[in-house]
């Protein structure tokens, strides 16, 4: 069994004030694009009727990090990358709440999902200690409690 840090997050509910919906929606789109990455299509229509389309890719933080997406807003990362995810979530702490905990995964399950269990340590570091893993979980819980009020 291999320990991974599992993150669960929730974006703030849709505002009731119709004047705030547009900014809430654009903030949510930006968050998901920066997290998961996306191909964005930009369409410009000219007065003569012609259309210019340009597709570009926005890289997300999880494209660079070995992870397993478990559900729509739940994913697991190798413990060495947990601080990067926490820093990313802290950028959006005004509009999301999140929780982190340790999940133990079977080696075969990780291999099936493309995570190399033998060489998942960054820069040859050893596996993180139980104390370090608990710090990630505590940090996530603390932030979740603070932002969910």
CA 39, CA 125: separation in Å to the nearest integer? 34
CA 125, CA 91: separation in Å to the nearest integer? 27
Q: Are 80 and 125 in contact (CB under 8 A)?
A: yes
Read off the tokens for 62: 């999880």
CA 130, CA 72: separation in Å to the nearest integer? 28
Question: Does residue 107 surpass a pLDDT of 70?
Answer: yes
Task: Collapse the DSSP code of 109 into the 3-class scheme (helix H, G, I; strand E, B; otherwise coil) and give the result.
Answer: helix
Confidence of residue 134 (pLDDT cuts 50, 70, 90): low
pLDDT of residue 56: 85
Return the higher-pLDDT residue of 93 and 124. Answer: 93
CA 12, CA 27: separation in Å to the nearest integer? 10
CA 58, CA 14: separation in Å to the nearest integer? 24
Mean pLDDT for the stretch of residues 7-27: 83
pLDDT of residue 143: 41
pLDDT digits (tens, 9 = 90+) for 23-53: 888 888 888 889 888 888 888 888 888 888 8
Question: Does residue 122 surpass a pLDDT of 80?
Answer: no
- Closest by CA to 11, choosing from 70, 92, 75, is 92
pLDDT of residue 139: 47
């Amino acid at each position: 069994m291999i320990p991974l840090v599992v993150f669960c997050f929730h974006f703030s509910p849709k505002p009731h004030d119709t004047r705030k919906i547009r900014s809430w929606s654009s903030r949510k789109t930006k968050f998901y694009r920066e997290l998961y990455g996306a191909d964005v299509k930009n369409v410009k229509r000219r007065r003569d009727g012609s259309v210019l389309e340009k597709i570009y890719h926005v890289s997300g933080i999880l494209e660079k990090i070995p992870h397993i997406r478990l559900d729509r807003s739940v994913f697991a990362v190798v413990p060495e990358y947990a601080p990067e995810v926490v820093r990313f979530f802290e950028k959006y702490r005004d509009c999301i709440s999140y929780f982190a905990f340790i999940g133990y995964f079977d080696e075969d399950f990780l291999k099936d999902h493309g995570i190399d269990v033998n060489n998942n340590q960054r820069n040859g570091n050893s596996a993180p200690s139980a104390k370090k893993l608990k710090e990630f979980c505590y940090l996530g819980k603390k932030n979740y409690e603070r932002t969910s009020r």
